[in-house]
Amino acid sequence: MTIGVSAINISTDMPADTGNIGTEIIWRMCQQHPEHSFLLFFDRPVPAHLVLPANATAVVVPLKAPSLWRRKWWLQWQLPRALKQHRPDVFLAMDGLLPLRSRIPAFLFLKDLSFLQSVAGVPVKWQQFLQQQTSKYITRAQGIWVLSPRQEQELLQYAPAAAGKTSVLPAGIHESYHPLPWEEREAVKQQHTGGVEYFIVTAAMHPRNNIQPLLKAFSALKRRLRSNMKLVLVGNVTPAGQEIADSLRNYKFRDDIVWIQHADQATLAQLTAAAYAMIYTTRFDAVALPVYAALRCEVPVVAIDSEAAREAGKDAVLYTDPENLADLADKLCLMYKDEQLRARLLRNIATVELPGGWDTAAEQCANMLMC
């Protein structure tokens, strides 16, 4: 059997930015089913760091320009032409975009439904395009995957046609996340912060991840407590986040900011496990993967309140009011100075059911595609 996969998002997958969700699921599906062939359709040259599984072949269908109409042309004309040429038996849209002009049986993966919200940094026309087209994709798809029951309910409210063909994939945590012994933790701190304790934020430099309010809250902590605590930002800059990145040059406490781009999985896992605490600032994820990762590493979490954060962290997370910047600053100060609070949060990690790896999600996808 030959399975076609849209690999637009896989080409930009990074552990800190996206959680590598698409890559993890597709790569493990390839490894679990060496008897099948996979065609990965890219809209740009395959990144040099991306090593394809032995039974996967890249098909590059170049996108002429990043404009919306060029994307529409690519999706409804260039991609169907390539699918007709290579003739896969089924097609899996890992990026949530279906080529409606293709007659090949298609399946849809929806990482999140943020297009239903007003998300900072996302072009309005792109959000409107997704709002208009995703319902058509849902009607066309033979099967749909989401990452949480809450996301499934939100999807059914948006598109009742999803009923009966939507499945919830179990979230996964990469196997590299685990607690570090004291000596290793100290070595990681020495390498990245000169031995100083730090908060870690795992997210792309993008307005939707609330990096700017976080920097203001961190400034408040530094002014109040006069500590040497550092803030480690792990994630790549996006076009929408370039202004935030540029502002770091004039940030008053810039010497206490450590920004790490292009971190691989092993580095991210070490940085997470060595942190004093994680700060989770994203509100529109379907599943709060960084929260799960921190708890697996036995690292406490301060999170801007959201359904995804509550679903992942339950009573092991200190939540802040998303509408109140001062509350975020207060909670960071509490996490820093209240050892009893921190110890309670660490004890509560034992009450949280943490997911395993991505193998189960990959197998569920394969079962539906190959039945």
Q: Is the pLDDT of residue 65 over 80?
A: yes
Spatial neighbors of 236 by CB under 8 A, at least 6 apart, are: 14, 16, 17, 204, 205, 261, 262
**What pLDDT, on the 0 to 100 scale, is given for residue 115?**
87
Work out the pLDDT band at 105, boundaries 50, 70, 90.
very high
Q: Round to whole Å and give the CA distance between 53 and 59.
A: 14
Comparing CA positions, the residue from 275, 305, 272 lying closest to residue 288 is 305
Q: Round to whole Å and give the CA distance between 178 and 131.
A: 39
Q: What string of DSSP letters covers 126-180?
A: HHHHHHHHHHHHHHH-SEEEES-HHHHHHHHHH-GGGTTSEEEPPP---TT--PP
Average pLDDT over residues 49-53: 93
Q: Round to whole Å and give the CA distance between 95 and 44.
A: 14
> Model confidence over 350-366: pLDDT tens digits?
999 999 999 999 999 99
Q: Which residues, in sequence order, are bridge partners of residue 146?
A: 168
**What pLDDT, on the 0 to 100 scale, is given for residue 114?**
87
Structure tokens at 247: 């502002």
Contact 303, 309 (CB under 8 A): yes
Strands 2-6 and 56-60 come out as: unpaired
Tell me the C-alpha to C-alpha distance, in Å, between residue 254 and each of 147, 251, 305: 36, 5, 27
Q: Is the pLDDT of residue 284 over 90?
A: no
Q: How many CB atoms lie within 10 A of CB 232?
A: 24
Structure tokens at 312: 């992942």
Q: Round to whole Å and give the CA distance between 334 and 320.
A: 11
Answer with the residue of higher pLDDT: 68 or 59: 59
Q: How many CB atoms lie within 10 A of CB 137?
A: 20
Compute the Cα dihedral for 201, 203, 205, 207 and give only its sign.
negative
Answer with the residue of higher pLDDT: 371 or 3: 3
pTM to 2 decimal places:
0.94
Structure tokens at 84: 């007709």
**What pLDDT, on the 0 to 100 scale, is given for residue 117?**
83
Q: Round to whole Å and give the CA distance between 55 and 30.
A: 7
**What pLDDT, on the 0 to 100 scale, is given for residue 66?**
83
Q: Is the pLDDT of residue 256 over 90?
A: yes
**What pLDDT, on the 0 to 100 scale, is given for residue 118?**
77
Q: Round to whole Å and give the CA distance between 340 and 6.
A: 48
User: For a pLDDT cut of 90, what percent of the chain falls above it?
Assistant: 90
Average pLDDT over residues 283-312: 95
Q: How many CB atoms lie within 10 A of CB 250?
A: 7
**What pLDDT, on the 0 to 100 scale, is given for residue 345?**
97
> Model confidence over 201-247: pLDDT tens digits?
999 999 999 999 999 999 999 999 989 999 999 999 999 999 999 99
**What pLDDT, on the 0 to 100 scale, is given for residue 123?**
87
Compute the mean pLDDT over every residue in the chain, rounded to the nearest whole number: 95
**What pLDDT, on the 0 to 100 scale, is given for residue 185?**
98
User: For a pLDDT cut of 70, what percent of the chain falls above it?
Assistant: 100
Going from the N-terminus, what domains does the chain have, and what CATH number goes with each? 2-172+357-370 (3.40.50.2000), 182-351 (3.40.50.2000)
Comparing CA positions, the residue from 13, 95, 287 lying closest to residue 173 is 287
H helix or E strand, kind and range, residue 304 = strand 301-304
Average pLDDT over residues 239-261: 96
Contact 179, 155 (CB under 8 A): no
Structure tokens at 91: 């097609």
Compute the Cα dihedral for 346, 313, 212, 17 and give only its sign.
positive
Q: Is the pLDDT of residue 121 over 90?
A: no
Q: Is the pLDDT of residue 81 over 90?
A: yes
**What pLDDT, on the 0 to 100 scale, is given for residue 188?**
98
Work out the pLDDT band at 333, boundaries 50, 70, 90.
very high
> Model confidence over 262-273: pLDDT tens digits?
999 999 999 999
Work out the pLDDT band at 175, boundaries 50, 70, 90.
very high
Average pLDDT over residues 12-29: 93
Work out the pLDDT band at 328, boundaries 50, 70, 90.
very high
**What pLDDT, on the 0 to 100 scale, is given for residue 2?**
97
Least confident interval from 61-65, 180-184, 257-261: 61-65
Tell me the C-alpha to C-alpha distance, in Å, between residue 325 and each of 112, 114, 296, 315: 25, 22, 28, 22
